[in-house]
Amino acid sequence: MAQRQVLLIEDEPHIAEAIRFILTRAGWTVSVLEDGARAMARIIGDPPDAIILDLMLPGRSGLEILADMRADAALRDLPVLMLSARGQGRDRDAATRAGATAFLAKPFANGDVLDQLEAITGGGAARREPA
Amino acid sequence: MARSPLTGTRIRERRNALGLKQAELARASGISAAYLNLIEHNRRRVSDALIERIAGAMGVDPVTLGEGAEGALFAGLREAVASLELAETGGGNGAGGTSQAAPDLDRIEEFVGRFPAWAALLVNRQARLAELERVVETYAERMAQDPFLLTSLHEVLSAVTSLRSTAAILVETEDIEPEWRARFLNTIQEESLRLSGTAEALVGYLDEMETAETGLSSPQEQLEAWLEARGWHFPELEGGGTEPAELIAGAPELASSAARELARGHLQRQAEDARALPLDPVLAALAELGPDPGALAVRFAVPLAQVLRRLAALPEGAPGLGQPGLVVCDGSGTLTFRRAAPGFLLPRFAAACPLWPLYEALARPMQPIRALVDMAGRLPQRFLTYAVSEPRPTGFDGPVLMRATMLILPAPAQSADAPARPIGASCRICPRGECPGRREPSIVADASAGRA
């Protein structure tokens, strides 16, 4: 079975590194992107099994990227875990409205990231080949 | 002598204290008992001569019946009631769900008359409450919009997030490779430094915020309080030798930088006005022409608005001016300068009455407007106003910015029977029920309705 791919779009290098370490140990292949502007090209060119998306990004906000994805038939169902430093209220609502599959407020426990990611990808193998 | 609405109440109390019947006092004062009754219920204005007769009949000093600065107390108490109602209807989550019975507005007079110190205390507390509400609002706005705070908080959360994750990795991963361990320890070091740097900056910023702006009043209020204390006139600016900056430097009342900036602009304009309309010639012309801004503008060949401003910045006691008031607004109607004339109520925060000649002037640029007005109150008080609006110089390509100015003078004695425009201070505390300009319901019952 191929390793599951997750694309992490996060501009804070230390946060990205920590997440990458945790997910890699759990068996995920993690690629990291620091810049929102190039995200869509990367997602279309090499669609991962799931995306972890920070809300505040340089270049392009996570919400805009998410909206673009949801407007694209091929990416409509791609699981997206949204991260934001403003956990309550507006950001959570905005993420939900834009079509985030799950939401996690910073700071988070390492286990939560893994649990959420497993939950939105069906808890196991790469079985997303929708019609 | 200033005629306070309380004169009637005072007469009634004094008469009761003396055990006199209304009819007896009326006879001794040479008026009918019915008329005295109206006076005692503050429904008729009393002339100075009549006060003296009534005081004489009771054997008291007329001053004890007439004096008083209760006007401000009345306005303050009405404001208190208005804010109470506002909190109940608009606030939604105001303290206590049970609605409190609003005080009986009809009895304000009685309250002020019998418990002046309590009334003053209440008004004082109300003013303080309004100040604090303003501070809270300012801070809330700042928290929500201040880019420095938002950025700092984001920094803090980011640092905390990576610290938490990294520390957890180090603690929970037993078989971590030495390179990774070194890397993560390094991360902890870097993020700790970042966090302490941000925290330091935040503390410094909050400290500065507290000291720079004592936060108790708006910059405009600080400026007004200072000008009021200085009598609205600066002899130092008359000769032209003193720079506004020197005056401002010696004024600790101007606590915030914004207030000092407002003061600088105001003093500069006042100095220009003093140059264009030098003190001695202006006083001479006033004595000769009377308080007629139009004639003075022609005499000195200066813009009308400049004359209006100058007349409100002369030393006290200039002939025919009494204690003049002046209001200036910009194109949005916002009052940018306020000098209150006694009895001409200026709203503290709320928007003013749309019937003020000031706003008529705004709608008719360059056209001088002279209007007699009756300011609503228990007993309407009459003023003569002069208003004009002129564009501020912004050049050909700049935006067109209008500025309206209105001078408020006591009405001349001979205008007592002339028709006057009924106006108010602000809708919430204005008793004129049937007003075409009304924006929102008043909390004050219409004085003319239901009282034949």
Per residue in B249-284, pLDDT tens? Answer: 888 778 778 888 999 999 999 999 999 999 999 999
Query: CA B365 to CA B404: how far, in whole Å?
Result: 8
User: Where in chain A are the domains?
Assistant: 4-120
Please choose, from the candidates A43, A42, A113, the residue with its C-alpha nearest in 3D space to the C-alpha of residue A83: A113
CA angle, B381 then B383 then B386, to 5°: 155
Q: What is the DSSP string of B361-406?
A: HHHSTT--EEEEEEE-SSS-EEEEEEEEEEEEP--SSS--EEEEEE
Residues near B233 by beta carbon (within 8 Å), at least 6 away in sequence? B313, B314, B315, B316
Query: How far is CA B278 from each of CA B155, B238, B274, rounded to the nearest angstrom?
Result: 58, 7, 5
Within 10 angstroms of residue B284's Cβ, the number of other Cβ atoms is 10
CA dihedral B427, B431, B433, B439 (to 10 degrees): 0
Q: Give me B451's structure tokens.
A: 């009282």
Looking at residues B218-240, what average pLDDT do you find? 86
Closest Cβ opposite residue A110 in set B169, B180, B183: B169
| Closest residue, chain B, to A109 (C-alpha) | B165
pLDDT, position B317: 84
**Is pLDDT at B368 greater than 80 in this prediction?**
yes
Return the pLDDT at A23: 95
Residue B161 is nearest to which of A21, A56, A107, comparing CB atoms?
Answer: A107
Q: Which of A21, A56, A107 lies at the smallest CB-CB distance from B160?
A: A107
Assigned token pair, A58: 């340089």
Taking the Cβ of residue B158 and every Cβ of chain A, the question of whether any pair is shorter than 8 Å is answered with yes
Q: How confident is the model at residue B448 (pLDDT cuts 50, 70, 90)?
A: very low
Using one digit for the tens of pLDDT, what is the confidence trace for B15-24? Answer: 888 888 999 9
Residue B449 has pLDDT above 50, yes or no: no
φ and ψ of B25, to 5 deg: -65, -40
pLDDT of residue B298: 96
What's the helix, strand, coil split of chain B in %, to 5?
55, 10, 35
Q: Predicted confidence band at B97 (pLDDT cuts at 50, 70, 90)?
A: very low
* pLDDT value, residue B146: 61
For residue A9, pLDDT over 90 is answered with yes
Q: How far apart are CA B338 and CA B221, in angstroms?
A: 9
Residues 6+ apart with CB under 8 A from B221: none
List the 180-209 stretch of B: residues with Cβ below 8 A of A: 180, 183-184, 187, 190-191
SS3 B101: coil
Please list every residue in chain B whose beta carbon sits closer than 8 Å to the beta carbon of residue A22. 165, 169
pLDDT digit string, tens, across residues B283-297: 999 999 999 999 999
pLDDT, residue B7, reads 78
Mean local confidence (pLDDT), A92-120: 91
Residues of chain A contacting residue B183, judged by C-beta atoms under 8 Å apart = 17
Shortest distance between the Cα of A74 and any Cα of chain B, in A, equals 32
Q: How far is CA B267 from the centre of its chain?
A: 20
Domains and CATH numbers, chain B: 7-68 (1.10.260.40), 71-88+104-143 (no CATH), 146-212 (1.10.287), 320-452 (3.30.450)
CB contact under 8 A, B187 and A107: no
Inspect the interface and report whether the beta carbons of B157 and A107 lie closer than 8 Å: yes
Q: What is the pTM of this model?
A: 0.51
φ and ψ of B125, to 5 deg: -65, -40
CB pairs under 8 A between A and B: 52
Across the interface, whether the CB atoms of A14 and B190 are under 8 A apart is answered yes
Say what the pLDDT of residue B443 is.
65
Q: Residue B439 above 60 pLDDT?
A: yes
In angstroms, the CA A108 to CA A85 distance is: 10
Name the range with the highest mean pLDDT among A40-44, B60-64, B135-139: A40-44
Architecture of A4-120 per CATH?
Answer: 3-Layer(aba) Sandwich (3.40)
Question: Which of B392, B385, B384, B333 lies closest to B363 in space, CA to CA?
Answer: B333
Give me the mean pLDDT over the A41-60 stretch.
Answer: 89
Measured from the Cβ of residue B115, the count of other Cβ atoms closer than 10 Å reads 12
Looking only at Cα atoms, what is the longest distance across chain A?
Answer: 40
Q: Does B165 touch chain A (CB under 8 A)?
A: yes
Q: How far is A12 from chain B (nearest CA, A)?
A: 7
ipTM, 2 decimals? Answer: 0.83
What is the rounded (10 degree) CA torsion for A48, A54, A58, A59? 50
Sign of CA dihedral B9, B10, B11, B16: positive
Q: Find which of B143, B149, B155, B158 to mutate to test the A interface (most A CBs within 10 Å of its CB).
A: B158
* Range of A69-83, B43-57, B411-425 with top mean pLDDT: A69-83
pLDDT at res. B183: 92
- What pLDDT does residue A59 have? 75
Q: What pLDDT is attached to residue B363?
A: 94
pLDDT score, position B447? 43
Asked if residue B169 has pLDDT above 50, the reply is yes
User: Tokens in use for B259?
Assistant: 């207030």
pLDDT for the residue numbered A129: 42
Mean pLDDT in residue range B97-117? 70
Top pLDDT among B314 and B222 is at B314
pLDDT at B445 over 80: no
Confidence bin at B95 (pLDDT 50/70/90): very low
Residues of A in CB contact (< 8 Å) with B are 12, 14-15, 17-19, 21-22, 25, 56, 85, 106-110
How far, in Å, CA of B306 to CA of B357, rounded? 17
What pLDDT, on the 0 to 100 scale, is given for residue A127? 42
Contact B161 A21 (CB under 8 A): no
pLDDT surpasses 70 at A88? no
Question: What pLDDT was estimated at residue B40?
Answer: 85
Range from A45-49, B69-73, B443-447 that averages highest in pLDDT: A45-49
Amino acid identity for residue B426 in this structure:
S
The yes-or-no verdict on residue B181 having pLDDT over 70 is: yes
pLDDT tier at B351 (50, 70, 90 boundaries)?
Answer: confident
Q: Taken in order B34, B40, B42, B48, is the CA torsion positive or negative?
A: positive
Average pLDDT score over residue span B364-384: 87
Percent of chain B whose predicted confidence (pLDDT) is above 70: 83
Encoding tokens for residue A120?
């939105």
Read off the pLDDT of each residue in A26-39 and give the average, rounded to a whole number: 91
- Banded model confidence at residue A125, pLDDT cuts 50, 70, 90: very low
